[in-house]
Each structure stands twice: as structure tokens, then as C-alpha cells.
Amino acid sequence: MSIRLKQAERWVLSLVIGAWLLIGAAGAAEQPQIVILATGGTIAGQQKKPGEAGYVAGQLAVKVLIDAVPELREIAQVKGEQIASIGSQDMNDQVWLKLLRRIDELGKDQTVDGIVVTHGTDTIEETAFFLDLTVATDKPVVLVGAMRPATARGADGPLNLLNAVKIAAAPESHGRGVLVTLNEEIHNAREVTKTNTTEVEAFKSPDTGPVGVFAADHLHYYHAPGGERLHFELGDRADLPRVEIVYAHANMDAGLVNASAQSGAKGVVLAGVGDGNMSQSAMDALAALAKQGTVVVRSSRVGSGWVSRNVEVDDDALGFVASQDLIPQKARILLQLALTQTSDPAKVQAMFDRPSR
Ligand code: SIN
């Protein structure tokens, strides 16, 4: 069957199509431009057979993740770039520096409104904190992961990705530092930590709670952005100083402290018992390291609360730094960055005393 249109009808039809295309183009131009930098993780994980417990992280390309969430098009113009395809247990200084440099380029690009980073959940809090301390831009930078692989029944990645793009596209997200979103919550990089190995509700900010939530699909922040920012300029460094974490426990001897020094570490973070304590022999070994110029930071394995100076341990006499509210894996990152500038424990302590947000 062929449809014959009269000249006037053709005119009307071409006017309607033209107007429709113009409205579409104008709408697209008005949409925020969001770039998704993909690094791998369970959010890009694939099972051999859907429904199986086993899976491999970091299998699906960023385009597949974007195409799985058509609603993204209603919120933003989204572009994807593959930075890495790894499980986040393999995250390292080199990928961090690559991410940082790309985010800083996108920060300067006036056509870009916000940046999303897809990431494995195992070390998402570490990458977020590293970026929070180093990116120069005030544009939203949002890290997002998933607890279930993309092929799982009830995969949480698509909703988390949609929420991450909503956060990155929202003007009220500017100036809040690097954020992490999963499970309809928004956390700041300094506070957030993984607290459960398998559940979808795995992330908490134990001392402060989340900075925002999604309720009925709407983004809500509890407070206005604020706080002075601790910032490290890394220039063209190819790596970061080596810092080890030593985990304290009952019956602890000096073995791991000494091994960390032999590994070439310029700094050691103690994941101490209680408020950052350790056995006498571990303390003696750490004090000997501090005397030789290794920076020793006392943190706690407890997971929340403060490690303050000179309470149970005489930090002044032993030359130690107290981690304040930073858990060991975050204290390690701040110490790595601090060591790019100084190995004077007093100056390092001053950096730990200043909240990054
Ligand atoms: C990973 O961290 O890459 C694996 C685990 C996850 O993403 O949940």
C-alpha cells in the first residue's frame, strides 16, 4: 500500500517533523553533559549463567552499562569512557593517577557538568577519598558500584547508576567533594565505608550518616555544602610513597612492624586495638621506626570513633601521629599524600587534624 500526500499535506508534515527535530535538539542541548568513567567492579560483573552465585567483576564495557539504563537519556547527555576493567581489589596508584588526570581534564572542559566513576565496591571508599583529596574541580564527582553483578536477578547496578547520574547532573551537588552512592544513599568520601560483604545495604558512614538520600526518586541533601578542603597537587608524579597497614591483635609481636619497614615503606599505619593501641613490643618497634624517620600513624581497627593524641599512648614522646576520625585504609591514603610533601610528624599531624570537608 502506498500513501499519496498532496503538496499542502507534505508541507504540513515537513513543518511538524522540522519542529519536532528542533525541539529535540534544543532539549538535548539543555540537558546536563555527564561523563561516565568506568573502572570495572561488580557493577560490570557477569555470571557464567544468570542466577549463579559465582561471577567475574569488570567484564562488561561502559557502553553496555549505559545501554542497560535507557532512563539516563531523560536526565542527561551521557558519554562513557573505559579507564580500566578490573576488580577493585586490584586498584592501584597508577589507575588512581589516570582517573585523577582525566577528571581534572573534564573539570576544565566547559561542556561537561559532572563526572560519574563506576567502581568495584571493595575499595570504592579508598578511590573516593584519594580523589576527594586531589581533584581540582568543584563539579560533582560521583563514585558508584553495585553489590550484585549486572546479570544477577535483582541487580542493583542500574538503579545505582541512574542515581549517580542524577547526582552528577544536579546543581546542588556542586562543591560537595567526591561522593559515593549505592542503595539510594549518598555518602561523602571521608566517612563512607563498606560494612557488609554481601548485602545490598553494605555502605555506611558510621560517625556521621549519609549526606543525602533518594526518596520517591528525588535527590535530597541533609545539609548545604560546606567545609574547607584539604587539597594535594600531584603534578606529573608516576606513583605515590609506599605506606603499609599493620593490624593489631592479642598476642601481637614486632614481626609485621619490622616486615613493613623492610618492604621499603615510608610510612606505617597501625590498625590498632581500641583507640589505636598495641602491644608493648609492637609499640617499641614502631617507636624505633619513627625515630629512623618512618612516619607512624595510629588508627583503629574498631571502625568508628576517634583516635586522639596522648590519651593512652604518649604520641609526643614516641613521635607518632594520631589518625583522628580516619579509619586505617583512609589514613593510609592521607599519609601517602602527606609524604609527597613532608615526613615531619608534626606537619603530618596538622593534616590529620584538618577535616578534608
Ligand atoms: C570489586 O570490588 O571489584 C568486586 C566487588 C564489588 O564490586 O562489589
The pLDDT tens digits of the residues spanning 43-55 come to 999 998 877 889 9
Check residue 226 and give its pLDDT: 82
Residue 105, CA atoms < 13 Å, CB-side half-sphere: 7
Known active-site residue 42: yes
Q: What pTM value is reported for the model?
A: 0.92
Choosing from 39, 42, 127, 294, the catalytic residue is: 42
Check residue 51 and give its pLDDT: 75
Contact indicator for 299, 271 with CB cutoff of 8 Å: yes
CA of 124 to the centre of ligand 1 (A): 8
CA of 86 to the centre of ligand 1 (A): 9
User: Atom of ligand 1 at shortest distance to CA of 41?
Assistant: 3
Check residue 356 and give its pLDDT: 56
Instruction: Look at residues 124, 220, 99, 103 and name the one whose alpha carbon lies nearest to residue 163.
Output: 220
Check residue 146 and give its pLDDT: 98
Contact indicator for 178, 152 with CB cutoff of 8 Å: no
CA of 311 to the centre of ligand 1 (A): 37
Q: How far is CA 243 from CA 181, 249, 297, in A?
A: 28, 20, 10
Cα separation, 253 vs 209, in Å, equals 36
Check residue 1 and give its pLDDT: 37
Check residue 26 and give its pLDDT: 47
Cα separation, 289 vs 16, in Å, equals 77
Cα separation, 144 vs 116, in Å, equals 7
CA of 174 to the centre of ligand 1 (A): 27
Low-confidence stretches of the chain (pLDDT beneath 70):
1-29, 356-357
Site residues for ligand 1, CB cut-off 6 Å: 41-42, 57, 87-89, 120-122, 145, 147
Q: Which residue among 56, 59, 65, 121 has the greatest number of ligand 1 atoms within 8 angstroms of its CB, and so is best to mutate?
A: 121
Cα separation, 273 vs 302, in Å, equals 7
**Residue 120, class by beta-carbon neighbours within 10 Å (0-12 exposed, 13-18 middle, 19+ buried)?**
buried
Q: Which residue among 46, 56, 65, 122 has the greatest number of ligand 1 atoms within 8 angstroms of its CB, and so is best to mutate?
A: 122
User: Atom of ligand 1 at shortest distance to CA of 123?
Assistant: 2
